[in-house]
C-alpha cells in the first residue's frame, strides 16, 4: 500500500497572520514554526504570541523604506502600542528610537537598557516628576505640548545646568478620518499648540527665549490608524508653512521634524492600508517639496510607528468555552479573555478576524465571539466567519499585537495574560501570566480575617 504524503491544509488569513504562519500536518496553526496549540497548553490562555522575525521584518521595512528615500530618518517606535523589556531590547538592537508618554514607560525603557538619547518623551500633561525623571535619564528629546511645560522644563533643566533638546508639538488642523477617539491632529484636540490664533508661534517665541531648552524642531501626530497617505501630505504642507513663518519671524530653522505615527495595518480582509513604502514616499516627497518650496533647509526626520511595528506580529490565543444560541438571531461563543486583554472592539468598534488554531474544520459558521467579562459590550468579534467552534477549541485572533495588552486592565479582577516570543520553532516566555497574588499585592490593608 502506498501511503499518501501528509500534506498540511491551507491557511486562512495568511496575509493578516505573521508571514510564515502555516498549518502543520496535524492541522494546527504554526507561528514561526511553533505549534500554537502546544503553546496554549504549555502557557495557558489567553496567551499573546509575538513572532520575533515579524517584528524584525517590520523594523527593517521602515528602515529601508525611509533610508532609500530620505537617509536622515530615525524610526522611533511608539511604545504605547505595546511595552515590554524583551520587545524594547529587540527594537534597540534594530537601531530604533522610542517614543514614551509617561514615567512608567520611561522606567520600563530604562530597565530594558534602552539608549536614553534615542527616546522622545511625549504627553499633554507631563508632571514635574516625570520631566525630572526624563532629564535624569538623559532622554534625547522632550516633545513640548503646552505653555506650563515650557516653564517646568526650563526650571528643571536650569537646575541641572542642562540645555535640553526639545520639539514643539503643533496641531495642524487636519482630519485623518479615523475613529473620533483616536483623532488627534484636528484643531479641537487636547494635544499640542494650535496654529490658528498664533498659539504655536508664541510657544516658539517662548522656547527660543529659554536658554535651558534647545529647540530642535516641530512634531505633529494626526491620529491612528490613518488608512490614507493624503492627511500626511496635507499636514506636512501646513507644517512647512508654519516653519516658514517661524523662520521669517524669528530667523529660526528647525533641524528635526516628526509627522508622528498612525500607520495602519490589516485587521480584516477588507482593510487596504497603504504599504510602508507608500507612506514613506508620500511623507518624504511632501517634506522635500514643501520645505524646499519655502526655502527651508531639510530637517532630520523622525517617524513614530507603533501599531505597524507590533500589530501583525502578535496573535492572541483563547480557549473556547460556553455558548448561547439566541434562536433566529445570533450564536454567541464565549472565550476565556475579552475586553480586559483587548478593549479595542468595545472602545472603537474595531474589527478582527478569528480562526481555530487546533483544526481547520469544514463547517463555516457566522458566530459572535464574546469575552467572559460582565458587560454586554464585551464582544471581541461580531459576526465572525469561523469553522464551527466548540468548547475546548483554541481560537486565534491575528493582528492582536498592538493596543491589546497595552490597554489591558484588571477589570473583574482578571489576571492579565502571559506573553511568549517565538522564533525558528522556539518559544520563550517574556511575561508571565498575572496571579491572584499579583492582584492582592497592592492591598496594604492586609488580607485574612476581618
CB of 356 to ligand LLP, least distance (A): 25
Site string for ligand LLP, 337-356 (x = CB under 6 A): -------x---x--------
Burial class (CB in 10 A: 0-12, 13-18, 19+), 363: exposed
Q: Which residue has the cell 493578516?
A: 16
- Own/partner contacts of 247-251, CB < 8 Å, gap of 24 or more, are 247/294, 247/295, 247/296, 249/201, 250/204, 250/205, 250/208
In terms of CB distance, is 305 or 337 closer to ligand LLP?
305
Give the integer Cα–Cα distance in Å for 313 and 86. Answer: 14
- Binders of ligand LLP among residues 8 to 67 (CB under 6 A) are none
Cell numbers that stand for 431 in this block: 511575561
Instruction: Give the list of residues 6+ apart from residue 159 with CB closer than 8 angstroms, or none.
Output: none
* Residue 78 CB, nearest approach to ligand LLP (Å): 3
Binding track, positions 382-421, relative to ligand LLP; x by CB under 6 A: --------------------xx------------------
Which one of 34-42, 146-154, 278-286, 304-312 is the stretch in contact with ligand LLP (CB under 6 A)?
A: 304-312
CA 105 to chain centre: 13
d(CA 248, CA 205): 12
For position 100 contacting ligand LLP by CB under 6 A, the verdict is no
The alpha helices in 100-229, defined as continuous H runs, are 103-111, 128-137, 147-159, 199-208
- Give the interface segment with ligand LLP, choosing from 74-82, 127-135, 327-335, 359-367 (CB under 6 A): 74-82
Cell 492591598 appears where?
443
Task: Please tell me whether residue 176 binds ligand LLP under the rule CB under 6 A.
Answer: no
In angstroms, the CA 219 to CA 260 distance is 7
Tell me the three state secondary structure of residue 89: helix
**207 binds ligand LLP per the rule CB under 6 A:** no
Q: Has 59 been annotated as catalytic? A: no
Nearest approach, Cβ of 402 to ligand LLP (angstroms)? 6
Question: In the bound complex, which residue of the shown chain has the CB atom lying closest to ligand LLP?
Answer: 306
Minimum Å gap between C-beta 315 and ligand LLP is: 16
Site for ligand LLP in 115-134 (CB under 6 A): 122
Q: What part of residues 233-262 is at the interface with ligand LLP (CB under 6 A)?
A: 260-262
Size of the site for ligand LLP (CB under 6 A): 22
Residue 413, sorted as left (phi over 0), alpha (psi -120 to 50) or beta, turns out to be left
Active-site choice (34, 54, 59, 374): 374
Name the minimum Å distance from CB 362 to ligand LLP.
34
Residues making contact with ligand LLP (CB under 6 A): 78, 80-81, 99, 122, 182, 221, 224-225, 260-263, 304-308, 344, 348, 402-403
Amino acid at each position: 500500500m502506498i501511503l499518501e504524503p501528509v500534506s498540511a491544509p491551507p491557511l486562512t488569513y495568511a496575509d493578516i497572520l505573521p508571514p510564515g504562519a502555516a498549518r502543520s500536518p496535524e492541522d494546527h496553526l504554526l507561528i514561526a514554526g511553533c505549534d500554537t496549540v502546544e503553546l496554549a497548553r504549555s502557557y495557558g490562555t489567553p496567551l499573546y504570541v509575538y513572532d520575533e522575525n515579524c517584528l524584525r521584518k517590520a523594523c527593517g521595512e521602515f528602515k529601508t523604506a525611509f533610508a532609500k528615500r530620505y537617509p536622515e530618518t530615525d524610526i522611533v517606535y511608539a511604545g504605547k502600542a505595546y511595552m515590554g523589556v524583551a520587545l524594547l531590547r529587540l527594537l534597540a538592537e534594530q537601531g530604533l528610537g522610542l517614543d514614551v508618554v509617561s514615567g512608567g514607560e520611561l522606567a520600563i525603557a530604562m530597565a530594558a537598557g534602552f539608549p536614553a538619547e534615542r527616546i522622545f518623551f511625549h504627553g499633554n500633561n507631563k508632571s514635574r516628576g516625570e520631566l525630572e525623571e526624563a532629564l535624569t535619564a538623559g532622554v534625547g528629546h522632550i516633545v513640548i505640548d503646552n505653555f506650563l511645560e515650557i516653564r517646568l522644563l526650563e526650571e528643571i533643566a536650569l537646575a541641572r545646568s542642562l540645555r535640553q533638546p526639545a520639539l514643539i508639538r503643533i496641531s495642524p488642523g487636519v482630519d485623518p478620518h479615523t475613529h473620533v477617539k483616536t483623532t488627534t491632529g484636528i484643531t479641537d484636540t487636547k494635544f499640542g499648540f494650535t496654529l490658528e490664533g498664533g498659539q504655536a508661534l508664541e510657544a516658539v517665541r517662548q522656547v527660543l527665549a529659554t536658554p535651558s531648552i534647545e529647540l530642535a524642531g516641530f512634531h505633529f501626530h494626526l491620529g491612528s490608524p490613518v488608512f490614507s497617505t493624503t492627511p500626511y501630505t496635507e499636514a506636512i504642507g501646513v507644517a512647512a508653512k508654519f516653519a516658514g513663518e517661524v523662520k521669517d519671524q524669528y530667523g529660526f530653522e528647525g533641524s528635526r521634524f516628526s509627522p508622528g505615527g498612525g500607520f495602519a495595518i490589516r485587521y480584516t480582509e477588507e482593510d487596504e492600508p497603504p504599504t510602508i513604502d507608500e507612506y514613506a514616499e508620500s511623507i518624504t516627497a511632501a517634506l522635500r517639496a514643501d520645505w524646499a518650496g519655502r526655502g527651508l533647509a531639510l530637517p532630520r526626520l523622525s517617524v513614530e510607528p507603533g501599531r505597524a511595528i507590533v500589530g501583525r506580529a502578535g496573535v492572541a490565543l483563547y480557549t473556547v468555552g460556553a455558548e448561547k444560541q439566541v434562536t433566529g438571531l445570533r450564536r454567541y461563543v464565549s472565550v476565556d479573555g475579552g475586553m480586559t486583554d483587548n478593549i479595542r472592539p468595545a472602545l472603537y468598534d474595531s474589527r478582527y478576524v478569528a480562526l481555530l488554531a487546533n483544526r481547520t474544520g469544514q463547517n463555516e459558521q457566522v458566530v459572535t465571539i464574546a469575552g467572559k467579562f460582565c458587560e454586554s459590550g464585551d464582544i471581541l468579534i461580531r459576526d465572525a466567519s469561523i469553522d464551527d467552534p466548540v468548547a475546548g477549541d483554541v481560537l486565534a485572533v491575528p493582528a492582536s499585537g498592538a493596543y491589546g495588552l497595552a490597554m489591558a486592565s484588571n477589570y473583574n479582577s482578571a489576571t492579565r495574560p502571559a506573553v511568549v516570543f517565538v522564533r525558528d520553532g522556539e518559544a520563550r516566555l517574556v511575561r508571565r501570566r498575572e496571579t491572584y497574588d499579583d492582584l492582592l499585592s497592592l492591598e496594604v490593608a492586609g488580607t485574612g480575617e476581618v
